[in-house]
A and B are shown apart, each in its own frame.
Chain A
Amino acid sequence: MSDTRRRIALVEARRPLVVGFVATCLVALGVVSVLGNDTAQRRLVAPSASSIGPVGAESTSFTCGGMTEAPGSVAWGSLDLSNIGHTAVSATVVVVDDAGHRGSAEVVIPAEGSTFFDPGNLVAGGTWLGAIVEAHGGGVGVVEQIHGSGGVTSTPCGSLPSPRWYFAGASTANGQHYTVNLVNPTLTPSVVNVSFLSADGASAPSGSQGLVVPPHGVTTVAVQDLVAHAANLATVVHAFQGRIVAFATQDSPDPAGTAVTIGEPTLESSWVLARSIATPGAQVAMEVANPTPHAQTVVVHVRIPSGWLSPWSEVLAPYSTWQLPMAPSTRLPQTDTFAATLDATGPGVVAFTSVQIPGARTSGWALAPLTAPAVASAGTWVLPDLPGLRREGISLTNLGVTPVTLHVEAVTKTTAKTVEGLDGLRLDPRSFVVLTRPQLRALRSGSVLITADGSIATGETFDGSPAPGIISLNGLAASQG
């Protein structure tokens, strides 16, 4: 037998081994293929509407809006610029109004400090204004504070323009005015459709379709002119070209007050209310909207210091809204601070909390978005201080299922940053903690920096209005880059 024939005979004899080897390889590759299946892109973590850029960033920006222009007007506002970095950061503030006027100024935000800026002084001749803050560095957070004739309220400025914005909890009933302000901080013109959800269903008035927001421009939508006499009104803003930041200003004659809030850029299936207070005389409600074509079941769990309340549940029809009155209610003891979670079974809802003080002469209305998961998982938060207001309380809420260790410190240049009991604080699952007044005093005035090794929601309220809780802020998520 020749060598070739012998070799061929050997291969034939080993055919089962060969077939087995090939089959094994294919199976192994199949396993690798399945185990290594990362074909779906990691879902982009929904950006927080208001987050503080990394301290080492080259530049960051914030867009503010919903403010009125003339001093003493209903939503006259100012900007609170905080810097958690160790070096001062310069910033350019460009102020634009709905009449096309424009002005700019340079400000310097001191290291581990804050500064204030009145944008309304830079332009005149329009009604509504927006401000674009371009910080030449990171670690800066910007919050706008409204202190006009409508009272005091506050909302964070937007750090990321987005093509979609959602609002809930507005009203055009009883002579109330509701204005959506669209600010375009980019150089790309935006074209925007604004539609509304109410008890009467969805509507897309022609007057709010195809709105052009020019680069560095402001466009407003007077909702009461389009959807009159509607309560529990939700708003959907969709920019099909370009990106914008949307604010809503609720001006109410009764109870008298003005509320300004930034919108939520995404729908989420879970939300966290970090801190609220069942203030006697105040009406606290959770405002939920379902701007999707799917019916969703929404469940709200409320946690008070002593334990959990029985949950609320509601099935939200497609393109519908729901207002959940939380306080006063038989379930929630008055004066209690409470936290809450909202879970939806579908693609997501948008949730705000509203506070109304019937009969108030000023500051009788407040609106604030709940905390989104992206913010809760940030790891670092900043609770800014507001000038002229006293911090009434800070809540740290862990409504997850694992304990979280966190550190609370003051953003200050002094060496005594930490406070006893707040460094290495352990927060049990499904619980929240309210910082005591001595602890708040120890933190002094100024921003508070909170770091945690898990997801928590942070919120603060300020005193200085008819009711505690009418001015509340969620913690600003900070990047750790």
Chain B
Amino acid sequence: MESRAPAVVAVVVGAEPDGRIEAAVASLAAQDYADLSILVLVANTERAVLAERIAGIAPGAFVAELVEDRGFGAAINRSLEMVEGATFLLVCHDDVVLDPDAVHLMVEESFRSNAGIVTPKVVSMRDRSVLLHVGQGVDRFGTIVEKVQTDEIDQGQHDAVRDVFVAPGGATLIRADLLRSIGGYDERYLAMGDDLEMCWRARLAGARIVCAPQAVVAHEERLASQEHPLLTPEGEAQPPSLSRLYRRNEVRTLLICWGLVERILTLSLLVPLHLGEIIVAAIGGDHDRAVDIREAWRSAFRERKAIRSSRQRTRALRTMSDRDVRSLQVRGATRLRAFAVALLHQGFDSARGVLPHEQIIVSDDEAPELTASFGGAFSDDEGFDELDDLGRRGHRHTGRRRLSSVRSLTTLTIAALVLYLVGSRNLIGARLPMIGRLVDPGSWTHTWHMVFASWQPAGMGSGAPGHPGFMALGLLGTFTFGQMGAAVRLLLLGSIPVGAVGISRLLRPVASGRSRLLAAAAFGGLALGVNAIASGDLGAVVALGAMPFLLRRILRLCRVAPFDEPFASPVPLASRGWRSTLVGQIAGFSLLLTVTSAVAPATLVVVALSSLGIAVIGVIAEPKRAAAGQAKVWLGIAIAVILLAPLSLSAVLSGPSGLSVFGGAPGPWSTPGLGGLLRFAAGPSGHGFFAWFLPVAALVPLLVARQARLTLAVRLAGAAVVSLALGLVVARGGLADFAPDLLVCLAPVATAVAALAGLGLAAFESDLPKVDFGWRQVIALGGVTLALVGIIPIILDAGGGRWRMPSTGYSDSLRFLDGRNSLGHRILWVGDPRTIPGGSWSIEPGLAWSTSTDGLPDSSTLFAPASAVEGAAVTSALGQAMRGETIHLGQLLSPASIEAIVVTRATVPSAPGSQAGQAIAPPVGLIPSLEHQLDLIQTPSGGGVTVFEIGGSMPIVGTRPEPLSRRATTSSVSAVAGWSGLSTAEDGGSWPTGGTAPEGARSLYVGIAPAGDVKVVAGREPVAGRPAFGWASTFPVTPGQVAVSLDALPLNGLLAAAALSGWLGIMLCLVGRHRWLDWWWPAARRRHARLSIDPVDDDAGSDSGDLLVETSEGPFGDKAGEPAP
């Protein structure tokens, strides 16, 4: 009897004759469908041999050989040319086995639902009770959304016919005319996503896609499990990874299938999502994921013409609007949602795919027996559901696990971050006041100019190399796209959270999540951070943020438990795993120390002393290993000194005054004693009783901790004690010129206190359960309580929204000094070094000075050179005034072009009723001695500062009719009188400068050091100058055009370039050749691929004690995000 069933041709595409294809063909041959033909397409095999084997299974089957294996889609397209008269094509992989009734059920459903494409229920070949697919959905970004969960058991729960967006590959029934009309498969899709693209086009053409779950197909998914090799795309040297291919096809599909409006909208959403994913991948060290994303876009750009052509073809067959298509898709961003859910439930590592999803294993004796309970349904007890069948409360151990779940820790972490953001809310967007180091940061180009410049304007001018701090800021500014304000803000507000993360990493090997969270919160809760922010002390903030990482590096180099794993075996420089070697560890420590010390040079001293402290206490705790690793640490410090050559060289050449690079000596009368230092009360915060709690809590682990927690606590205590001693000596003014920044001195103490607070809780959790109840438990519990309560003041500080930083700075209260017509003059700033905006030089404890040119300080004076060249022009005059040896200070300062003296008396200017800064008085005799001067005019200037103006001071560059006597001194009224500035026409006084010498001018004065570098051209002839006042220079000129410039060998630039090369070189080595070279140089990547690769990852546990487990799953990835092959 002639069959009336529509003809179906099953097309089986086989890649290798490995036996599986025979099973697939056999299952087709066993179908109960009347009019089913079988076409087997194979490549890379002997057709005759395979045909003979197939013939034995399905005598009617036709075996055709493909000339070239160009993927599944291309093979199906070939079959379209070969098949005529068939109503349906059943396109099959070679690793499927169909139930005998599968084909007829799918055909029936096609007619019943008027579906163009029908997909069956796909189950696992290994375990047919496990569901793989019942069709798939997709979001607007092309991310596949499975309808079933991973390893979901088939219990008939999906046995309803439903519309799906994607018919996953394996076995798909497609109406032949539909497939022809949409042009078949896109042959540029070798795998992974070809089904999505084809189905999307079918949808656009108006076809319906349904899943017929009664039809069951078992699928081995050899492609997804990577048993089946991927093809190499045209023009590429090697096959891409599955994930990379999927990403590539995902972007490509979007570009082809969306119309213009939706395409723009989708891409505008996708770009930030991908950027975020790259950032997460970078944080998590998931280099491959970042490369996948980048390659997806590069591929799309490379194939833009082909994509445009495909898009035009797709547009031609469109019968369905994008809006209707959108209604068929899943809402939202599936990948982002999956990441958020995984992050919330299982932590960051799981979310980014490094760790497998958490499985909580509960021992038998702890697991409640929670079976179905009839009584529970009727119980009034809200906790009845927690009772097991024996009446035990199910969560009887929740006390031990309280705040230990990933979810709760994540929630607390987010809450802490939110609190920090709330506390910083008025500093994030608002203008920062000019206090401390928060001077106008200038432009990115100016910052780099300061790095390489041969001359620095600070003080009287200096030929010293640029301060490495400019280099660090310049690099950071590069990452903020040249927004230096954002870079400064990032440093100011980002360092503390980074330091909190560092504390957590420091404790990771020995402490639970909640202990680390407590330590991190304690770190943020110490007054030191608030004080550093409030005073605008960028250096201290950066040092504080970096200190946990630095201490951890020191402990690692000293191989102190729990960081005592052996270093990784030596590998070639910058190759995989180099960072874990001893050399890599030293290099990493050096680079971190270098960058931190560039902004806060005192870090060098503090780190060195902390290392000594670790060794000193090691003498008591582990005598035989007390000094172990110290040589490595000091080698790292020495490398850092070399990398800071522009600063360290000039400091060494400056002699004893070079010590001022570490900071100015504060006035002993305005610094706290030991109690204040322990509470970190070196600013507006930390003065209350609560501030004692955290330092007291830090003592607890020394008493109760055991195992590696104790060794860590002991070494941290050593570092803290020595740093505290240094801080105390500095605070008491005991080291004269050598006075490292007090807040930086306290950074190791803060780090140790926070870490010890966390170790106290860790000891309570891990060590004390093993001992009988006694004083230890009481002390530990008390310590934890103190630590928790000790954080409260900072939580209260968050209410202000600016961490006690004032809203008004010197740029507000002293605006009148900035905008007036005073080009070519300097302002002298005098006061405690903590109160002077920008860098300064110390004169005596509590007294430092700096200058700003043509108004208030700017980025040029953000960092002071190692010593003030010709600073005696200012300091000797000040000294004379303070000793009562002059009443003409204004005249003495006139050659230095000082037109105003600003004496700072507080950290910030005070505004009655709204703002009161911390009073930090200069030496008591300073202001009276200035008030005694007969040529200074005291100007009303608000609180916190006292301003004296000097009338008629000499301009930096000026002329007068009378020549300056060779023996002229500042004491001579006639020497300093009569000078007037050049009439600058075009540049408004910028430097280098020039202008017109007025009629009658005979002498030109240039008040710039070093005088030897000053060149003057009068008219067109260079003129020779001679010294003036011992440090400046004067030149004979005639009326007319005069050009003043500086001429020095570019040694500073070369030195800066060498230092910068060193920084970047070590940075690239630490990143690893396999990362940066491959990233930017595809040819090298291909070469590299041919090399054997050391499987050791850079951040292997030997480095940090971290977990070694890594998986290939991606950051946002989970099963939902991965396509079926």
A binds B: yes
Query: Can you sample 11 A-B contacts with CB below 8 Å?
Result: A11-B622, A12-B706, A18-B617, A18-B717, A58-B880, A185-B934, A186-B931, A186-B934, A186-B937, A187-B934, A481-B883
The answer, among B621, B710, B934, for a CB contact under 8 Å with A134, is B934
**Does A335 lie at the interface of the complex (its beta carbon under 8 Å from any beta carbon of B)?**
no
Q: Is A229 an interface residue when CB atoms closer than 8 A count as contact? A: no
Q: Are A53 and B711 in contact (CB under 8 A)?
A: no
In the complex, chain B residues 616-637 whose Cβ is within 8 Å of any chain A Cβ: 617, 620-622, 625
Shortest Cβ distance from B927 into chain A, in angstroms? 10
- Residue with the greatest number of chain A CB neighbours at <10 A, chosen from B675, B923, B938: B938
Partner of A8, one of B669, B707, B937: B707
> Among the listed A7, A21, A163, which residue makes an inter-chain contact with B561, where contact means beta carbons less than 8 Å apart?
A7
Stretch at the interface among B113-121, B321-329, B724-732, B904-912: B724-732
Mask for A1-18, Cβ within 8 A of B = 1, else 0? 000100110111011011
Contact A7 B934 (CB under 8 A): no
Question: B892 to chain A: which residues have CB within 8 Å?
Answer: 58
Within 8 A of B (CB), among A157-209: 160-161, 163, 185-188
Q: Kindly supply a per-residue 1/0 record for chain A positions 106-142, scoring 1 wherever the CB is within 8 Å of any chain B CB and 0 otherwise.
A: 0000000000000000000000000010101010000
- Complex interface: chain B residues within 8 A of A32 (CB): 674, 728-729, 732
Q: Across the interface, do A26 and B721 meet the contact criterion of CB distance under 8 Å?
A: yes
Assess the A60–B887 pair: CB atoms within 8 A. Answer: yes
- Interface residue from A14, A54, A163, A185 paired with B884 (Cβ < 8 Å): A54
Least distance between A446 CB and chain B CB atoms (Å): 25
Interface status of B83 (Cβ within 8 A of chain A): no
Q: Does A241 contact B (CB under 8 A)?
A: yes
Q: Contact string, B892-931, partner A, CB cutoff 8 A, digits 1/0?
A: 1000000000000000000000000000010111001001
Measured CA separation A11–B626 after assembly (Å): 12
Interface size on A, residues (CB 8 A): 55
How far is the CB of A29 from the nearest CB of chain B, in Å? Answer: 5
Q: How far is the CA of A32 from the CA of B733 in the complex (A)?
A: 12
Which residues on the B side are within 8 Å of A161 (C-beta)?
A: 931-932
User: Contact at B621–A57, with CB atoms within 8 Å?
Assistant: no
Residues of chain A contacted by B928 (CB below 8 angstroms)? 44, 47, 160
Contact B935 A29 (CB under 8 A): no
Which one, A11, A58, A242, contacts B621 given CB within 8 A?
Answer: A11
Which residue of A is nearest B695, CB measured?
A26
Specify which chain A residues have a CB less than 8 angstroms from the CB of B721 in the assembled complex: 22, 25-26, 29
> A61 an interface residue at 8 Å Cβ cutoff?
yes
Asked if A241 and B671 make an inter-chain contact with CB atoms under 8 angstroms apart, the answer reads no
Residues of B within 8 A of A42 (CB): 924
Known: A8-B561, A242-B938. A38 touches B924 (CB 8 A): no
Q: Which of A68-84 contact B (CB under 8 A)?
A: none
14 further contact pairs, Cβ within 8 A, besides A42-B924, A134-B887: A8-B711, A12-B706, A12-B707, A15-B702, A22-B702, A33-B673, A41-B924, A134-B888, A160-B928, A186-B931, A186-B933, A186-B934, A242-B931, A479-B884
B618 vs chain A, min Cβ distance (A): 9
Q: Are the CB atoms of A29 and B728 closer together than 8 Å?
A: yes
Q: A57 contacts B880, CB within 8 Å?
A: yes
Closest to A13 in B: B621
Q: B885 on the interface (CB 8 Å rule)?
A: yes
Known A18-B620, A161-B932: A59·B561 in contact at CB below 8 Å: no
A7, B625: Cβ atoms closer than 8 Å: yes
- Flag if B717 contacts A22 (CB, 8 Å): yes
Contact B734 A11 (CB under 8 A): no
B938 and A17 within 8 A (CB): no
**Contact indicator B940/A4 (Cβ below 8 Å):** no
Tell me the B1005-1050 residues at the A interface (CB within 8 Å): none
Are A39's CB and B671's CB within 8 A? yes
A481 touches B885 (CB 8 A): yes
Q: Chain B residues near A160: list those with CB within 8 A.
A: 928, 932
Measured between beta carbons, the chain A residues less than 8 angstroms from B702 are 15, 18-19, 22
Interchain nearest-CB distance for B911 vs A (Å)? 19
Contact status A15-B931, CB under 8 Å: no
Q: Tell me, rounded to whole Å, the shortest Cβ–Cβ distance linking B58 to chain A.
A: 65
Q: Is A43 an interface residue (CB 8 A)?
A: yes
- Shortest CB distance B381–A (Å): 47
**A157 shortest CB reach to chain B, Å:** 13
- The minimal Cβ–Cβ distance linking A410 to chain B, given in whole angstroms, is 26
Chain B positions near chain A (C-beta within 8 angstroms)? 561, 564, 617, 620-622, 625, 667-671, 673-675, 699, 702-703, 706-708, 710-711, 714, 717, 721, 724-725, 728-729, 732-734, 880, 883-888, 892, 921, 923-925, 928, 931-938, 940, 951, 971
A241 & B935 in contact (Cβ 8 Å cutoff): no
| Residues in chain A near residue B564, CB distance under 8 A | 4, 7
Residues of A within 8 A of B703 (CB): 15, 19
Q: Please judge, given known A-B contacts A4-B561, A19-B702, whether A59 and B887 are in contact too, CB under 8 Å.
A: yes
- Nearest residue in B to A51 (C-beta to C-beta)? B884
Given contacts A11-B711, A11-B714, A187-B937, contact A41 B932 (CB under 8 A): no
- Name B727's closest neighbour in chain A (CB-CB): A29
* Interchain CA distance A40-B924 in the complex, whole Å: 10
| Contact assessment for A14 and B673 in the assembled complex, using a CB-CB cutoff below 8 Å | no
- A421 contacts the other chain (Cβ, under 8 Å)? no
* A26: B residues at CB distance < 8 A: 674, 721
Q: How far is the CB of B671 from chain A (nearest CB, A)?
A: 7
B780 to chain A minimum Cβ distance, whole angstroms, is 15
List, in ascending order, chain A residues with CB within 8 A of B937's CB: 186-188, 215
Within 8 A of B (CB), among A296-346: none
**Bound Cα distance A215, B935 (Å):** 10
Judging by beta carbons under 8 Å apart, are B732 and A36 in contact? yes
Q: Is the CB of A12 within 8 A of B887?
A: no
Q: At the interface, yes or no: A275 with Cβ under 8 Å from chain B?
A: no
Given the complex, which residues of A lie within 8 Å of B675, measured CB to CB?
33
Identify the 5 closest CB pairs spanning chains A and B, nearest first: A33-B674, A57-B885, A58-B886, A188-B938, A41-B669
Measured CA separation A38–B668 after assembly (Å): 6
Inter-chain contact B935/A187, CB cutoff 8 Å: yes
Is A56 on the interface with B (CB-CB < 8 A)?
yes
Chain A residues within an 8 Å CB radius of B625: 7
Q: Which of A17, A22, A53, A59 has the most CB of B within 10 A?
A: A59
Q: Which residues of chain B are within 8 angstroms of A187 by Cβ–Cβ distance?
A: 934-937, 951
Q: How far is the CB of B669 from chain A (nearest CB, A)?
A: 4
B776 to chain A, nearest CB (A): 12
Given A56-B885, A59-B887, A479-B884: A17 touches B620 (CB 8 Å cut-off): yes
**CA separation between A186 and B951, bound complex, in Å?**
12
Q: Roughly how many angstroms separate A47 CA and B925 CA in the complex, as a whole number?
A: 10
* Distance, CA A69 to CA B668, complexed state (A): 50
CA distance A62 to B708 in the complex (A): 73
The answer to whether A33 and B711 touch across the interface, beta carbons within 8 angstroms, is: no
Set of chain A residues within 8 Å of B710, measured between Cβ atoms: 8, 11-12, 15
Q: How far is the CA of A22 from the CA of B625 in the complex (A)?
A: 19
Residue of B617, B725, B885 most packed against chain A (CB within 10 A): B885
**Contact A37 to B925, CB < 8 A, known contacts A54-B883, A54-B885:** no
- Does A7 lie within 8 Å of B711, measured CB to CB? yes
| Chain B residues closer than 8 Å to A8, beta-carbon distance | 561, 707-708, 710-711
Q: Contacts A25-B721, A242-B938 given; indicate if A33 touches B951 (C-beta within 8 A).
A: no
Contact across chains for B925 and A44 when beta carbons are under 8 A apart: yes
Question: How far does the Cβ of A92 sit from chain B's closest Cβ, in whole Å?
Answer: 9
A243 CB–B CB distance under 8 Å = yes
* A79–B710 CA distance with the chains assembled, in angstroms: 80
For the complex formed, measure the closest distance between the CB of A299 and the CB atoms of chain B, giving whole angstroms: 30
Contact A132 B934 (CB under 8 A): yes
Residues in A neighbouring B884, C-beta threshold 8 A: 53-54, 57, 60, 479, 481
Closest to A92 in B: B973
Whether A347 is near chain B, meaning CB under 8 Å from some CB there, is no
A293 within 8 A of B: no
Chain A, Cβ-Cβ closest to B880:
A58
Known A-B contacts A132-B934, A241-B940; A18 and B621 likewise in contact (beta carbons under 8 Å): yes
Chain B residues with CB below 8 A from A132, complex form: 934
**B673 in contact with A37 (CB, 8 Å):** yes
